[in-house]
Chain A
Amino acid sequence: MPADSTQIHNIGYRHYDGQRLGRAYATRSLFSQSLRGAYGLGRSAKSKVLPMILFGVMCAPALIMVAVAVATKANDLPVDYTRYAIVLQAVISLYLAAQAPQTVSRDLRFKTVPLYFSRPIERVDYVRAKFAALSSALFILTAAPLIVLYTGALLAKLDFADQTKGFAQGLVSVALLSVLFAGIALLISAVTPRRGLGIAAVIAVLTISYGAVSTVQAIADEQGSGSAIGWLGLFSPITLIDGVQTAFLGATSAFPGEEGPSTGAGVVYVLVTLALIAGSYAGLLRRYRKAGL
């Protein structure tokens, strides 16, 4: 050891008398740290790989569509803004399954949570910061391709008013989708601190519910009970979003036979969506009541 050549001079302990920014600042810091973490920023190179690949996969089809639309001088984009997230829902599920456990289970698994709660922030601040962070991460993932599509549409000189309206509707839809999916995925990950389990559980809940709902819907369609199709959509997150945007955001339903819910049923869809979001928030708060020190 070159202890004689280099010497660290002990300058003694210095007290900190600068400002302490308190609870709101700490919550914001936790939000930005979690948001960055959801894309692997500020973490190891290995943890950047998956979110970045998924982000690329999410945007690639939009780029291709835009290229095609510009090259062929088409009158409209091949896919609606509101439809894009529905088509690429598998990518969204994968992203959530990878990042939701990362956002909350890590703190639970390594018992870092008590360190947060021994600081100025409270339980609600922690839950809000994490919820907001994952929702924002998901919004970035789902809104980025819409921006690509919109920019492309304007470059291809498609109808401005029409495209702007579609784009705005798409943004509202993916915002709702982000909050809903983030809530569900966070709650699942928070009750399964083991990472592998969390990933599996998130994928299972999102895809199995969708699989089951669309199968039953297809059967209902075969048997000609069209009205049942609309109500069945209430039972999986992605069909819920589909129903809401069909009823209110001018989207064409992805349900079999395009049997989307009417405006009246749409209200139920919105209520169920909001109830799910509120429920997952309350569930998270409850979960962290016990996870303190």
Chain B
Amino acid sequence: MTVIATESLSKRFPRVTALDRLSMDIGPGVTGLVGANGAGKSTLIKILLGLSPATEGRAAVLGLDVATSGGQIRERVGYMPEHDCLPPDVSATEFVVHMARMSGLPPTAARERTADTLRHVGLYEERYRPIGGYSTGMKQRVKLAQALVHDPQLVFLDEPTNGLDPVGRDEMLGLIRRVHTDFGISVLVTSHLLGELERTCDHVVVIDGGKLLRSSSTTDFTQSTTTVAVEVTDSDTHPDGTAALRAALAARGVATHDDGGGLPGAGHTVLLEAESEETYDLLRDVVADLGLGLVRMEQRRHHIAEVFRAHDEETARAEKAAATTAAAATSDAAVTTAAAASSEAAAASDAAVTPAATDADATPATTATPAITAERTGGGRDAR
């Protein structure tokens, strides 16, 4: 079953092309829509809600054509906007009841569903207080509740984690996951942070400049070998514990990645590939032999960003190879540009991994943004 289907969907404004022949099929589940600011995410949602006509191409939501059945779609779909949309002088209950009635629910049902939905998003006693006094996290929950109150089959969540602190972000992502697993509602969630979606989504769609860059399931992205991050203390015999561990591991033929990069504290994490269970045992033994304290040893899944980087480098390499053979005689200036662009992209990707070591919470946020930049350069190169 397809929840959202678009076919060479384009939206052109007088001066910008917001969507450029976008074709995709999205099935049930949680789907992440990733793109930098201005990539066309909000425009796509507007078209899918039947509020803005597409310049060309077709789109269907829940099997209904957006051009002709906008009203029917909006009755079965929920929408949580990116910006603030709550009047401060009414309580969450009153507001959500009103919104439920706006979706066509009879008064009694509207009240029951409101109470249920607010409880599900985690608002309890505070729902009787005016919204003006809520924290950002609570406001986001109210916004989510109004999108879910009429029990839609699909919700569009536009940047639901905007403005939230790391804890609030995690809670919101968990909640989004539950919207699908517990409530059985399909979700299309947008973000400009690739990293935060990998924990939540079954499927990720990346768009840039209105074009589809990639659409694949999250497991495809993150299935490959796991990376283990290890952090050790220093001891009197080994004043630099990290370096000692690195040396000891190298002596046993295990390659480690440098996770340094000049940031304070970053150099104290050693990354290595865990090929099998034995790697963990080996690590434990090595650390014990060195007499170091083990501060942290955690499995780090591959981030989607890394996969994109790999994908990007592959294409770059292939292109470069092709270009070298083709331009061997002529030594085209474009090749140099392409090479420069790819090394730039690689540099950006390197930068992307660096902060990962400093703060686990910040990982998704910091890694993803430069990765998009890298992806953009990639896109530009493809175009060229």
A interface residues, Cβ below 8 angstroms from B: 8, 12-16, 18-23, 25-26, 29-30, 33, 42-44, 47, 106-107, 110-112, 114-122, 292-293
A252 to B79 alpha-carbon distance, docked (Å) = 55
CA distance A240 to B51 in the complex (A): 39
Residue of B49, B81, B99, B116 near A111 (CB, 8 A) is: B81
Contacts of B101 in A (CB 8 A): 25-26, 29, 33
Interface centre among B46, B79, B83, B103 (most CB of A within 10 A): B103
Q: A33-B98, A112-B85, A293-B49 are in contact. List 5 more A-B contacts (CB 8 A).
A: A8-B124, A18-B105, A22-B71, A23-B71, A112-B87
- Cα–Cα distance between A14 and B120 once the two chains are bound (Å): 10
Q: B90 contacts A25, CB within 8 Å?
A: no
For B77, the chain A residues whose CB sits under 8 A away are 118
State the CA gap A211–B265 with chains docked (Å). Answer: 74
CB atoms of B85 and A110 under 8 A apart: yes
Contact across chains for B109 and A16 when beta carbons are under 8 A apart: yes
Report whether B151 and A292 are in contact in the complex, using a CB–CB cutoff of 8 Å: no
Is B104 on the interface with A (CB-CB < 8 A)?
Answer: yes
Chain A residues within 8 Å of B83, by CB: 111
B99 & A44 in contact (Cβ 8 Å cutoff): no
| Cross-chain contact of A26 among B89, B104, B183 (Cβ < 8 A) | B104
List chain B residues, Cβ under 8 A from A112: 85-87
Given contacts A16-B105, A21-B105, contact A8 B119 (CB under 8 A): yes
Name the residue on B nearest A27 (C-beta). B102
**Residue B84, interface by CB 8 Å:** yes
| A17 CB to nearest chain B CB (Å) | 8
- Which of B81, B106, B130, B146 is in CB contact (< 8 Å) with A18? B106
Whether A13 lies near B102 (C-beta < 8 A) is no
Which size bracket describes the interface of B in this complex? 35 or more
Residue-wise interface mask of B (56-85) relative to A, using a CB-CB cutoff of 8 A (1 in contact, 0 not): 000000000000000100110111010111
B124 to chain A, nearest CB (A): 8
| Cβ A119 vs Cβ B103 within 8 A | yes
Closest to A20 in B: B104
- Find out whether the CB atom of A21 lies under 8 angstroms from the CB atom of B104: yes
Which of B79, B88, B90, B113 contacts A115 (CB under 8 A)? B79
A13: chain B residues at CB < 8 Å are 116, 120, 182-184
Chain B residues within an 8 Å CB radius of A114: 79, 81, 85
- Contact: B150 with A292, CB < 8 Å? no
Contact indicator B89/A115 (Cβ below 8 Å): no
The verdict on A15 contacting B99 (CB below 8 Å), with A8-B119, A110-B86, A118-B74 known, is: no
When distances are taken between beta carbons in the complex, the residues of chain B under 8 Å from A29 are 98, 101-102
Write the nearest CB–CB distance from B360 to chain A, whole angstroms. 28
Across the two chains, which residue of chain B brings its CB closest to A122? B71
- Chain A hits for B88, CB < 8 A: 110
A20 to B83, CA, bound (A): 27
Whether A116 and B102, one on each chain, are in contact in the complex, defined by CB atoms closer than 8 angstroms, is yes
What separation, in Å, do the CA atoms of A30 and B151 have in the docked complex? Answer: 20
Q: Decide yes or no whether B234 CB sits under 8 A from chain A.
A: no
- How far, in Å, is B43 (CB) from chain A's closest CB? 9
At the interface, yes or no: B94 with Cβ under 8 Å from chain A?
A: yes
B42 at the A interface (CB under 8 A)? yes
Residue in A closest to B131 when the chains form the complex, CB atoms? A110
Contact of B87 among A110, A116, A293 (CB under 8 A): A110
Known: A12-B182, A115-B99. A120 touches B87 (CB 8 A): no
A-B contact pairs, 5 of them (CB 8 A): A12-B182, A20-B105, A26-B103, A118-B49, A292-B52
In the complex, A292 Cα to B70 Cα: how many Å? 14
Among B130, B146, B151, which residue has its beta carbon within 8 angstroms of that of A15? Answer: B151
B103-127 at interface with A (beta carbon < 8 Å):
103-106, 109, 113, 116, 119-120, 124
CB contact list, B295-346 vs A, under 8 A: none
Q: How far is the CB of B86 from chain A (nearest CB, A)?
A: 6
A112–B99 alpha-carbon span in the complex (Å): 10
Contacts of A118 in B (CB 8 A): 49, 51, 74, 77-79, 81
CA distance A122 to B70 in the complex (A): 10
> Which residues of A lie under 8 Å from residue B42 when comparing CB positions?
293
Of all A-B residue pairs in the complex, the 6 with the closest CB atoms, nearest first, are: A16-B151, A118-B79, A20-B104, A29-B101, A13-B183, A21-B104
Most buried by B among A8, A111, A118: A118
- The residues of A that contact B52 with a CB separation of less than 8 Å are 292-293
B84 touches A111 (CB 8 A): yes
When distances are taken between beta carbons in the complex, the residues of chain B under 8 Å from A21 are: 104-106
Those of B170-202 within 8 Å (CB) of chain A: 182-184
Given A29-B101, A33-B98, A112-B85; A117-B75 close (CB under 8 Å)? no
B51: contacting residue among A20, A47, A117, CB under 8 A: A117
CB-based contact B106/A19 at 8 Å = yes
Q: Which of A43, A121, A293 contacts B90 (CB 8 A)?
A: A43
- Do A120 and B86 touch (CB < 8 A)? no
CA distance A43 to B103 in the complex (A): 21
Q: How far is the CA of A252 from the CA of B216 in the complex (A)?
A: 77
B319 to chain A, nearest CB (A): 39
Q: How far is the CA of A252 from the CA of B89 in the complex (A)?
A: 45
Minimal beta-carbon separation of B144 from chain A (angstroms) = 12
**A293 close to B46 (CB less than 8 A):** yes
Contact with A along B127-146 (1 / 0, CB 8 A): 00010000000000000001
Distance in angstroms between the alpha carbons of A243 and B105 in the assembled complex: 46
> Which residues of B sit under 8 angstroms from A26, Cβ to Cβ?
101-104
* Contact A22/B104 with A13-B184, A120-B75, A293-B81 known, Cβ cut-off 8 Å: yes
Q: How far is the CA of A21 from the CA of B102 in the complex (A)?
A: 9
Contacting residues, chain A, for B51 (C-beta < 8 A): 117-118, 292-293
Tell me, in angstroms, the Cα distance from A18 to B51 when the chains sit together.
26
Docked-complex contact A20 and B120, CB < 8 angstroms:
no
Q: B289: shortest Cβ distance to chain A, in Å?
A: 46
Given contacts A26-B103, A119-B74, A119-B102, contact A47 B89 (CB under 8 A): yes
Q: How far is the CA of A125 from the CA of B169 in the complex (A)?
A: 37
